[in-house]
Structures are given as C-alpha cells and as structure tokens.
Structure 1
C-alpha cells in the first residue's frame, strides 16, 4: 500500500494536531493541581477507559496477542509514562505555546533517527537543512533569557518527552505491532498501571482528592486530547512515512497557542512567534515535495 499523501494525509494531520495541541494548555492548568505522576496515571487510566468504551460501541474490541503486549509495554513507557510525566513537570516552568513549539522538533528528531534505523528513509540535503532550520527556531523560542532558570529546564523536559515520542514512532515503523486499536488500548492501560503505581508510591492516594473542576479538565484531556488523537495517530503512522506522520508535531503549536491565549491568557511574545514561524518553515523543507 503506497503511503498517504495530499488531502488524505493533511486532513488526518490537522485533526490530530488540533486535538493534541489542546493538551498543552490543559496539562498546563492541571500541572498546578495534580502532581506529575498522579496526572500521568489519571490521564492514562481515563484514556484507556475512553478507548475501551469507544471500541466496545463500535464492536471493534480486538484480541490482544503477543505482539500487542510487547508493543504496549514499550510504547506504554516511551509514549505514555515518560512524556506524560515529563510534560507536567515542564509546564510548571514553561508556558503552553513555547512548550508546544519545542515539541514541534518531533519531525526533526524522527528524521535523524529514521536515517539511522529506517534504511528506506534516508534524508536528503533539503531535509537535513530543514532539521538545522528547525533547531534554530527552537533556540529562538527559548531565547537568551531562557539559558538560565526554569525556562531552560522546562524546555529540556519537553525535549525529553519529544525524543521519547520520536523513538516510539521509529519503533512503530519497524516492529510487529498488531492492530492499531488494540495497541492504543493496551498502551494506555500499561501507562496507567505504571504511572499509577509510581503516583501511589511517591504522592500517596491523597493526591487524587481534587475538586470537581479538576476532574472535568482531566476527563477532557484524557478523551479529546489523548485517547482520540492517539488512536488516529497509531492508524496514521502505519500508512504514512515516519517524517510525515511526525509532522503533526508542527501543527500542534497553532492550536496550543490559540487555546492557551483564549483560556489561560498566555499571549506569546514576538520572539516566541518568530521562532514558531522558523519552526513551521522547517516543515516545508523536511516534508515538502522533493
């Protein structure tokens, strides 16, 4: 089957980018109410429940074979526990817009990893130029003021989550992963169990005693900014080139910035916007028609 291109690819990317972009302001708000491990556990548990209900209504509950179990254990860590814990830590120190722009480095990291581990996806000079341009944009987003204090640490934590996602994307392209729906469900279940165990050990059950509005935002995060886009992305990554699938990371900042400005009042500075423009220019170089 040829890889997705054109409108079919872009429709999926925009929908996934919008939903995942909303996660940044949602996590930013929740990070000041729930400890990181507790937030990761709650997000995983609610998302797993949402995926389970969705598949049950569609009568698509698949059998979970050995390949899905192995994949879920790895992806539950790479795409679940690690980023779901690192992002709340980061968003306690950095606003939603710059955080989403740092994570936009995803296609850049995937391009470099694909060159090393996917023989059929050797980057061209134009793609490598795009990688360089993209990292310059990330540096502009962080800015000279971010070289000290919480901003740099926050950006480093976001990049750690981004690298973890990129490794998961590359592994998905190489591995026997099983049905996307089964993998989405199992991945979130693994993430919930691991993160929940850490939360109970580190924070105790008292961390989950929260007012109703916290749980409303947590449910929105789990369903609309986690379960739905994850299921869509796992289906996309099996049909698109690795760099094209990771391109969703470039679209997230647009929605993250708009929602953060409207809901949280976090209007980005001109430097962050300029850096974002540079990062978005890199998408054209990395993923444009070659």
Structure 2
C-alpha cells in the first residue's frame, strides 16, 4: 500500500467515527426529552431552552473558527439566503421539533425515533418532485419497505403503540424532509455551521413567541431538569451537528447516511436501558424494514 493511501484511510476512519458520534448524539434526543418531561417541563419550554443554548454554543464555535482561519470571514448571511435560513428556522426546524416532541408524549423514545427515520423516503419523493432527481428502481423498492415498516410499528402489539402518535411523528418526518431539501439548496452557497447559526435562533424565537403567547414558558426547577435541557442542547443538538458536518466532509453524503442508520438503534437501546421501554417483535420487525429501506436509499446514492 502506498504512503498516500494511509492518510486517506485515516481520514475516512475519522470521518466515520465522527458520523457515529453524531448519530449517537441525535439518538439521545428522544430519551433526554422524556427525562425533561419527567422533570415537569413542557414542549415549548424545552425547545426554547434547547435552541437558545444551542445558538450560543454554535456562535461561539463560529467566532472561534473565524479567529483560527480568516478574520475577514463573513458570519452573517444576506439577502435571499438570510431569508431562507430564517424561514428554515421559523417553519422547518420549528415544525419538525414541535411534532417530534408532541409525538413523544404518545410513543416511546425508541418508536418515536424509528418513525422519524422514515424521512429519507420523504426526501426521495420531494427531491423527485422539486429537484427533478430520478426515482430509480432501487429507490422504488425502498419506499414500500420504509412505509411497510412504519405500518408494522404502528400495528397492534403488546406495547400499545398509539396510531395518533405515529401520525404526528410522520408529520415531523415530512416537515424534516422539506427542511432537508431546502437546506440542500441553501448549502450550495454557504456551509452547514453558518446555516445552523441562523436557523437555530429563528427556531428559538418561534418557540419563545408561542410560549409567551400561551403563558406556558417555565424554567427547570430541579437539577435533573437542567441536566436534561443541557443534554438536549449540547449532546442532542450542537455535538451531532458539528460532528456530522465534519464526517460529511471526509466520507461524503451517501456513506455518512449509511453510518447514520445507527441513530434509531441508539434511541431504541437507550429507551430500553434507561426508560425500561418495551420493544416487542412487531416493532423490531418494522424497525428492521425501515432501516433496510433507508440503507437501500443511501447505498443507491453511493
């Protein structure tokens, strides 16, 4: 093997490791959200604190990056790109997060994450409709696998999975797919971290406005509540965003997508271990179909 191959292989290994860290971080969201609910917090309060703390951390990283690289680097988006980022925060990330946490009130952490993970199928359809990307034979096979997996997860089983919760989280997956498609276009003109620096505060403003209007905002009153919120902001938001973009640069989008399939597995395992959540055979089978469908989608892109 040539010497030049060693740095390339090391870079790929580091990239895969970063995406695994990202998937683990995203996989903790539902479990930490349940901890926050158990501590007495409601959805608007959790999400205002999540996006506010995450905004502070992301802008700290942006400022540090600017000092390390080029002091003239522009940290503010302008024009249509700025409006797109704000819209992504006010509508996309707000809608996705609200529906995800609302669904978490009906479903276990593991099932919530599994149902959300149908979003690659929605991205396929939206990309075909909006961006003109082809629906190939493999992708057409993947779509019914994903949808069939959700049907199994939502079916009657000993865990009593709520169909209402499944529909809500499917709505979250649909909104998230729209967010990804629009973000994909926006990322042609900026980088992910800077885009996140504008999306996150817009989402914080959205939930703060709603919480103020409904008089539903409250700060945590216990140490457990603050730890859950801090974990959601850091471990479930900032760390996975930063590590995913780092891994994406090293191994590419399709391989990063494949590695990210460990995310719902992490959520299921943590739900069973930390929350004693049930995981019956039908949910296992449905989750397996979802993951196989997602694997086909990403593998076909490579």
Which TM-score bucket, shorter chain as reference? Answer: 0.7 to 0.9
Of 256, 264, 267, the residue aligned with 1:253 is 264
Of 278, 289, 294, the residue aligned with 1:283 is 294
Structure 2 partner of 1:109: 122
Structure 2 partner of 1:3: none
Give the TM-score taking structure 2 as reference length. 0.82
The answer to whether structure 1 residue 195 and structure 2 residue 202 are counterparts is no
Structure 1 partner of 2:50: 43
Task: Report the alpha carbon displacement of residue 249 of structure 1 after superposing the two structures with TM.
Answer: 6.3
Corresponding residue SS for 1:34: coil
Task: Report the alpha carbon displacement of residue 223 of structure 1 after superposing the two structures with TM.
Answer: 0.8
Q: After superposition, what is the alpha-carbon deviation per residue over 1:208-247, rounded to whole angstroms, capped at 9, x for unaligned?
A: 2521210111001101111122244467779955x77665
Kindly name which structure, 1 or 2, has the bigger radius of gyration based on alpha carbons: 2
Count of residues in correspondence between the two structures? 280
User: Kindly tell me: are residues 17 and 230 of structure 1, through their superposed partners in 2, closer, same or farther at Cα, counting changes over 3 Å?
Assistant: same
Of 85, 104, 125, the residue aligned with 1:72 is 85
The answer to whether structure 1 residue 226 and structure 2 residue 233 are counterparts is no
Corresponding residue SS for 1:258: helix
User: Kindly tell me: are residues 199 and 20 of structure 1, through their superposed partners in 2, closer, same or farther at Cα, counting changes over 3 Å?
Assistant: same
Q: Supply the distance in 2 between the matched residues of 1:168 and 1:237 (Cα, whole angstroms).
A: 18
Structure 2 partner of 1:157: 168
Match runs of 1:91-240 below 5 Å: 91-119=104-132, 121-144=133-156, 151-175=162-186, 177-205=189-217, 207-233=218-244, 240=252
Corresponding residue SS for 1:144: coil
- 5+ unaligned residues in a row in structure 2: which ranges? 1-11
Q: Supply the distance in 2 between the matched residues of 1:210 and 1:44 (Cα, whole angstroms).
A: 19
Of 24, 27, 31, the residue aligned with 1:21 is 27
Structure 1 partner of 2:63: 56
- 5+ unaligned residues in a row in structure 1: which ranges? 1-5
Q: Supply the distance in 2 between the matched residues of 1:8 and 1:165 (Cα, whole angstroms).
A: 27
User: Kindly tell me: are residues 223 and 77 of structure 1, through their superposed partners in 2, closer, same or farther at Cα, counting changes over 3 Å?
Assistant: same
Q: After superposition, what is the alpha-carbon deviation per residue over 1:143-194, rounded to whole angstroms, capped at 9, x for unaligned?
A: 1359xx9711111111111111110111122235523222111111111111
CA RMSD of aligned residues (A): 2.7
* Deviates most, 96-105 or 136-145: 136-145
User: Kindly tell me: are residues 164 and 181 of structure 1, through their superposed partners in 2, closer, same or farther at Cα, counting changes over 3 Å?
Assistant: same
* Deviates most, 224-233 or 185-194: 224-233
Task: Report the alpha carbon displacement of residue 71 of structure 1 after superposing the two structures with TM.
Answer: 2.7
Contact conserved, 2:62 with 2:194, CA < 8 A, in 1?
Answer: no
Corresponding residue SS for 1:256: helix
Give the TM-score taking structure 1 as reference length. 0.85
